[in-house]
Structure 1
Amino acid sequence: MSHGRLKRELHSEELLEIIFDYASRITIENNLDRLLMLMEDMGRDMTVADRCTLWLYDEKTDELLARIPHGMEKIRVPATSGLVGYVYQTANSLVIDDAYEDKRFCAELDVKTGYRTKSVMMIPLTNKQNQRLGVYQVINKLTADEVFTAQDVKYLSLAASYTAQALEAVLTNIEMEEAQREIIFKMGEIGEVRSKETGAHVKRVAEYAKFLAMKCGLSEEEADLIKVASPMHDIGKVAIADAILNKPGKLSEEEFIAVREHANIGYNLLKNSNRSILKAAAVIAKEHHERWDGKGYPEGLSGDDTHIYGRIVSVADVFDALATDRPYKKAWNAEKILAHFKKERGCQFDPNLIDVFLANMDGFLQIKEQYED
């Protein structure tokens, strides 16, 4: 085996120390990948195993997914496959001294990684309603006898019963967020369709905004928040009359004032939410028409008085308007777009953002091709 030196069994005091250490971190963790890592570390340490893997059931594909198995990449297997499939289907614990002596064992991963699986212990992971969430698996006992015991089953079961509640809470929150994202996207589409835009415009602006945010050094979490919130940037258009919104000719001064009001309308629709996504959407809806030089609307903010979310979506929205066909114009070519953003650097747009945009324009063009109307 490739696990290094042998270890001894835990004393009860050491076990309690492990439980308390992980418990304090698991209860406050709301990121799924980090929670799974904590659960895997806890299971491994409690059973003195070399590796621990958390398999989650994916209802959409009827597969078991190991997001962060120790020592390997993310993997998927059919929910009926191998030892893990057996445990998931039967909801029975399983302890095997040598996996290669069990015909249900699939050695494909060992062949891929050069690892040698020997002793294996798996227990079903269930919630309070006894619904199966997945499988807790530990591999290769590191003590002298190299086999898992009935006591190990008890320990891993303890870890599973404790962590399942935290896991389900995070999974439920993810499900709610996904539903929220879908609703936000659909609402964003409604706003765009009224002004003869397409759903692809909403997708592109969201992708451009995330791409630019990442290139500017924002965290992936914050960049993803901007991506999810940005489809609502023009939601205020739902309150603008069709006759004004889709007028083929030049708008009168009164009509232009009415159209500009969509920024405040969108903000007022969203501002009272406590949800981080909708709070970000409110900021974006209000500020994506502000300008670096203070000549934008609705507040005439200048410089970095405009929130970074609004500044990023402003670049993304204008790029898409220029790069695609609209009822009133044909798409501009890359050279013309480049010239426009250079001219508006420090005028309409944040100069730092434009420097990043210009250095990464190829990425914008790739996204445009990927999400053509």
Structure 2
Amino acid sequence: MMYKQELTPEDLLKIIFEYTAKIANERQLNAVLVHMADMGRELILSDRCTVWLIDETNHEIYTTVAHGVDEIRIPFGTGLVGNAISAGEPIIIEDAYSDPRHNADNDRRTGYHTKSIITVPFRNNDGEIIGAYQAINKLTEVDYFTSRDLELLSLAASYAGKSLESVMLHQEIIDTQREIIFTMGEIGEIRSKETGNHVKRVAEYSYVLALGLGLSVSQAELLRTASPMHDIGKVAIPDAVLNKPGKLTEEEYDLIKDHTKIGHQLLKGSKRELLRTASIVAEQHHEKWDGSGYPAGRKGEDIHIFGRITAVADVFDALSAERVYKEAWPLEKIEKLFREERGRHFDPRVVDVFFAELPKLLQIRKRLADEE
């Protein structure tokens, strides 16, 4: 194998500054974990670096970011990393197979040979251990980790652990907002005899379509989180109209259409980007590309892209689902409608992405199917 040369102080500073800047500017948890793993690997010239976190609820430690492997979960306190976290002390092993704490199951499963290991716990701002770095196999001529490596990885752990806590708290806030929005969205759907899974499916469909259109991951995620509120205005529509089994009168249909304006009014005053986005979706998801929709008769690109995407996602789910008042449409009939309505009801580009991503949408539909 080709050995690497130990890094100069200038090289080390460059790596530290590069990754601390990346971590400081990142709000997505998984991206921070990737940066942490890459920083650890480059600082101490290891073959692989894993970032482990503690799952207090399940009494486990786990990693979703590890070079060369998928997610791993092990009982709390087991393995080298579990021992390091439990003791709150780093561990350096020159030969993993001579240490009884090393679990070789992953090596046997993957064919990878672990030799040297270094494990360093990291702490949050209150000094509590929340996870650990674990690097495997030193790539220099001295093929084991040294006290210098311990100093460098401890430095990375000290910074990254505190930054990680901030991102995890941010993620917890986002998750809480998402839960509240789903719950509020379900309230609107339940009143109109829909199911909670309707808003979940529309959210997932919208995410796939947004990415297919070339929107950024952050914009697609914003839409996925906001779209469950598209029918929140139904909370103000009388039950007698909302669930009328027969044909609606013109006045009753006007009342139904008002749910778009009501939803917009409920949400538009918020300073939060998420709720402002939800207000756009609530108002514009019944607008049509040719200008024949409601509430404002917007046309073409005057309709916000989030409204155009949600329109396709909402109609696809409405046609796919069986309800007490209708049978589910067969896929061929749904496809025919979208082809006919391309450029009339729906943005042509969104329809094209709909067909391109249809296999993914069908997987979502199956995964989130309504219970019998």
Give TM-score, length-normalised by structure 1: 0.91
State the partner residue of 2:240.
243
Alpha-carbon RMSD across the aligned residues, in angstroms, is: 2.2
Counterparts of 1:30 and 1:351 in 2: how far apart (Å)? 33
Q: Percent same amino acid among aligned pairs?
A: 51
Choose from 62, 72, 79 the match for 1:82. Answer: 79
Is 1:307 matched with 2:304?
Answer: yes
Partner of 2:44: 47
Compared CA separation, residues 173 and 339, structure 1 to 2 (3 A): same
Give me the whole-angstrom Cα distance separating, in 1, the residues matched to 2:93 and 2:369. Answer: 53
**Residue matched to 1:254:** 251
1:186 offset after TM fit, Å? Answer: 0.6
The offset of 1:220, in angstroms, is 4.0
| TM-superposed deviation, 1:17 | 3.4
SS in 2 for 1:261: helix
- C-alpha distance after superposition, 1:254-303 (max 9, x if no partner): 33222212112111222233434323222111110000110111111011
Structure 2 gap segments, 5+ residues each: none
Q: What letter is aligned with 2:129? A: R
Larger deviation: 52-61 or 183-192?
52-61
- Separation in 2, partners of 1:109, 1:240: 57
Distance 1:234 1:36 in 2: 36
- Counting only pairs closer than 5 Å after superposition, residues 124-135 of structure 1 correspond to structure 2 as 124-135=121-132
Quick check: 2:121–2:131 contact (8 Å CA) kept in 1? yes
Q: Which runs of 5+ in 1 are unaligned?
A: none
2:157 to 156, 160, 177: 160
**Of the candidates 163, 170, 175, which is equivalent to residue 172 of structure 2?**
175
Query: Which secondary structure state, in structure 2, belongs to the residue aligned with residue 67 of structure 1?
Result: strand
Residues 12-21 or 74-83, more deviating: 12-21
Q: Deviations over 1:48-68 (max 9, x none)?
A: 333322111223433222222
| Residues 39 and 156, structure 2, Cα contact 8 Å, conserved in 1 | yes
1:322 matched to 2:319: yes
CA-CA distance at 1:181 after TM superposition: 0.9
1:104 maps to what in 2?
101
1:7 alignment counterpart: 5
Aligned CA distance change for structure 1 residues 158 and 294 (closer, same or farther; 3 Å): same
Secondary structure of 1:148's partner? coil
Quote the offset at 1:360 in angstroms.
4.8
Counterpart residue identity of residue 50, structure 2: T
Matches within 5 A, 1:168-317: 168-317=165-314
Q: CA deviation at 1:94?
A: 0.8
Q: Is the 8 A contact 2:289 2:346 kept in 1?
A: yes
Q: Closer, same or farther in 2 for the Cα pair 1:221/1:20, shift >3 Å?
A: closer
The CA distance in 2 between the partners of 1:19 and 1:336, in whole Å, is 57
CA distance, structure 2, for counterparts of residue 76 and residue 91 of structure 1: 19
Structure 1 residue 187: Cα displacement: 0.4
- Give the alignment partner of residue 341 of structure 1, picking from 329, 334, 338: 338
CA–CA separation in structure 1 for the residues paired with 2:11 and 2:320? 62
Q: Is the 8 A contact 2:3 2:140 kept in 1?
A: no
Question: 8 Å contact 2:286–2:293 — kept in the other structure?
Answer: yes
Q: Give distance in 1, aligned partners of 2:360 and 2:46.
A: 44
Q: Which amino acid aligns with 2:274?
A: I
Per the alignment, do residues 366 and 160 of structure 1 end up closer, same or farther by CA in structure 2, a change over 3 Å counting? Answer: closer
Separation in structure 2 between the aligned mates of residue 39 and residue 367 of structure 1, nearest angstrom: 32
Aligned match of 1:28: 25
